[in-house]
Amino acid sequence: MKKYKVGYTTGVFDLFHIGHLNILKKAKEQCEYLIVGVSTDELVQNYKNKLPVIPFEERVEIVKSIKYVDKVVAQENRDKYSAWENLQFDVMFVGDDWKGNKLFEELEHQFKSVGVDIVYFPYTQGTSSTILRKKII
């Protein structure tokens, strides 16, 4: 039996790579049902000041095709608590590069009050969409 019923994770999932696959696989190992929020192009432009290489609709299709994913939703903002209010997950999975970040420290406090855990997975060293983008250029 898996530790959690409904899990949630988010990402841009641009230039899909092994780090993306690792977090989805590890998340699914711990929950029965995995919901993945894929960031919209507009959201990425707003907080990263650049557009993804792969358009939103295509990134959604890629993530939907991964066997570990049960449902894909659009991530239109970075408000994870609001996502919880809509989706009612009992755990959120995040890369450990966010651990200690002010946003996630506040979120941990909010989630604790409603019984939601945050599980941090080790960041996959040596690969990222940013690294891939630089290699392409």
- For position 8, which CATH number holds? 3.40.50.620
Measured CA to CA, the distance from residue 86 to residue 112 in angstroms comes to 17
> Range of 61's domain?
4-86+114-136
Residue 25 a catalytic site member: no
In this structure, is residue 27 part of a structural domain? yes
- Indicate whether 42 belongs to any domain: yes
* pLDDT score, position 7: 98
pTM: 0.90
Which member of 2, 5, 48, 112 is catalytic? 48
The number of folded domains in the chain is 1
Residue 29: CA count within 13 A, CB half-sphere: 8
Among 58, 57, 9, 55, smallest CA distance to 30 is for 9
Quote the DSSP letter at residue 128. Answer: -
Q: Is 50 a catalytic residue?
A: yes
120 within some domain: yes
Residue 105 lies in a domain: no
Q: Give the active site residue among 2, 3, 50, 112.
A: 50
Residue 132 in this model has a pLDDT that exceeds 60: no
Residue 131: its pLDDT value, please? 60
Instruction: Return the pLDDT at 133.
Output: 58
Mean pLDDT of 68-85: 97
Angle in degrees, 0-180, between the axes of helices 80-87 and 102-113, rounded to the nearest 10: 30
Q: Classify residue 30 as exposed, middle or buried by CB count within 10 Å of its CB (0-12, 13-18, 19+).
A: middle
